[in-house]
Structure 1
Amino acid sequence: METIAQRQVDALLDKYGESHRNPANELIHVICIPAIIFSFLGLLWSLHPLAALAITIISLIYYLRLSVSFALGMVLMSGFMLWMLSLLPQAHVLSISLAVFVVSWIGQFIGHKIEGKKPSFFDDLRFLLIGPLFVLAILYRRMHIAY
């Protein structure tokens, strides 16, 4: 079963990588994707912290089906982000999250303008969940962590 899941994650990352080959676009994604995740969780948090937690758990189930190693990385990343949100004054979470969300998406589209290719999620919405794994894959390769 692990072999099948590994091939699926590799295929998704390969397809995602097709529109993320330019080093400037890759760097923008490494910065903006975590910011988008943080701000999206913040938008949910502003509705109710349990909404952010529920979406996190649902996404972690998807990641676990793709790769245990990636799921563990996402647990650490999303856990850290949820902890950071818990430290912010509730009255400011929405405005901060909205600002980060907008600026980060602008960055993403600038990256794709540089790349000359449209964002992957225009073809398949699953790539909204694969983007964070793309960033983790870059980190994992540098740290020689298998995924």
Structure 2
Amino acid sequence: MTRDVCGYGVAAGLLAVRLESVVMVDLRPVAELDTAVRAVHFALVGEEERFSTLAIGVLDPERATLTWVNAGHEEPFLRCADGRVERLEPTGPIVHPLLEAPPGTWRTRTTRLGFGDLLVLSTDGLTEGRDSSGE
């Protein structure tokens, strides 16, 4: 899982940890990813100034599959052993307490994994990073 919340500092960091805990607790009984993202949505109630993006993936080594949901997060990608790159596109909107979140808001997708495939997850710290001159 990778996620990001709106804002900086201690308050944003604490919110990120709280939301991660919500996902982890929700995934333990069943791996219903839409339900886990909806739990994050409900955890944000009362945080109208905040929103979150997240990408959650569940690996199934027996079936050689990756099942994922992407709530408006930076697109993870799968670099296949043969050199192809598969983007794991958003499967639903960002998580914001003012947006409706009925069941099915965040669709779950599954892709096959091959030996030597590499899953790459990042946050906007990578894509929006700046050097010392602001570039």
TM-score by length of 2: 0.29
Which structure's relative contact order is higher, taking Cα pairs within 8 Å and 6+ residues apart?
1
Higher helix content, 1 or 2: 1
Higher strand content, 1 or 2: 2
TM-score by length of 1: 0.27
